[in-house]
A = this chain, B = another copy of it.
């Protein structure tokens, strides 16, 4: 079994690779593990995966990757939401056209193989496919009406995965990730970055800016859950999706105030005091358009699982990503 992770140098991609290298993929040990990204941090895990460097949207790159004929392909690479909003062409070219080019190239491999090559493609979509107004809890049959280019290109990826799978060119699934929290490392250009920042920075002894009111409710899952979703999606019998190949993933719905109380329980008042409210109307307006809560019944019934409260999410960051010397 050959496994390819496109975006394997990113935060979730690297964690996924470490997990597969350590424990295999749904009980099987890959014969090859290929990580593709614009760059890679030093490999510190088991085995010696191939660390391929390139840009998916560069001419010929998607075709070269498809020609590797991986049995399982995780597509995680994307321009993040804030970046895609700032640069319209970049967002549509990389998240939209490059995804299409890759999926087309995989179809070409399928056809060239006489139909024998039919990869499992796990496409990481996002709750950014939705747009308000929302019901209290978003069900599995709620419309997609994206209010960002990032969200629109994620729907495009879902459409391509579904139609190519329906035709038998591949066997694909799109999983709509909650906001991944707590992200280790630095803040990124995603407008959701502060949801991680207000937990991560105080645990590292740093100040964190809170640009929205603490009444804001949002939908979260840990990086570990994201890895779990991806692995589960890679092994699932996709006939069970009955033709609807995009799935809302489970997560934890909580307010910023509840997030802060989780931090307080884990690290005390001094940590909480490092959170500095600094209202930012631009961020507040973007976040106001985001989903607050879901009822992800299909995913749950198919065996996808996330944390059950935000305390667990904070605990996972502390155990898995925080410098042990800084543990509260």
- By a beta-carbon cutoff of 8 Å, the part of chain A in contact with chain B is 88, 92, 131, 140-147, 149, 152, 155-156, 159-160, 162-163, 166-167, 243-244, 246
* Contacting pair B152 A244 (CB below 8 A): no
- Chain B nearest CB: distance from A145 CB in Å? 5
Enumerate chain B residues within 8 angstroms of A163, measured Cβ to Cβ. Answer: 92, 146, 149, 152
How often does this chain occur in the complex, in copies? 2
* Contacting pair A167 B88 (CB below 8 A): yes
Enumerate chain B residues within 8 angstroms of A156, measured Cβ to Cβ. Answer: 156, 159
* Contacting pair B243 A147 (CB below 8 A): yes
Of B131, B160, B243, B246, which one neighbours A244 at CB under 8 angstroms? Answer: B131
- In the complex, A159 Cα to B141 Cα: how many Å? 18
Which of A92, A141, A160 gathers the greatest number of chain B CB atoms within 10 Å?
A141
* Contacting pair B166 A159 (CB below 8 A): no
By DSSP majority rule, is chain A's interface helix, strand, loop, or mixed? Answer: mixed
* Contacting pair B141 A143 (CB below 8 A): yes
* Contacting pair B145 A244 (CB below 8 A): yes
21 of the cross-chain contacts (CB-CB < 8 Å) are: A88-B167, A131-B244, A140-B143, A142-B143, A143-B143, A143-B144, A143-B244, A144-B144, A145-B244, A145-B246, A146-B159, A146-B162, A147-B166, A149-B163, A149-B167, A152-B159, A152-B160, A152-B162, A155-B155, A155-B159, A156-B156
Enumerate chain B residues within 8 angstroms of A147, measured Cβ to Cβ. Answer: 166, 243
- Chain B nearest CB: distance from A91 CB in Å? 9
* Contacting pair A243 B131 (CB below 8 A): yes
9 more CB-based (< 8 A) A-B contacts, given A144-B144, A147-B243: A131-B243, A131-B244, A140-B143, A141-B143, A142-B143, A146-B163, A152-B159, A152-B163, A156-B159
Question: Nearest residue in B to A97 (C-beta to C-beta)?
Answer: B100
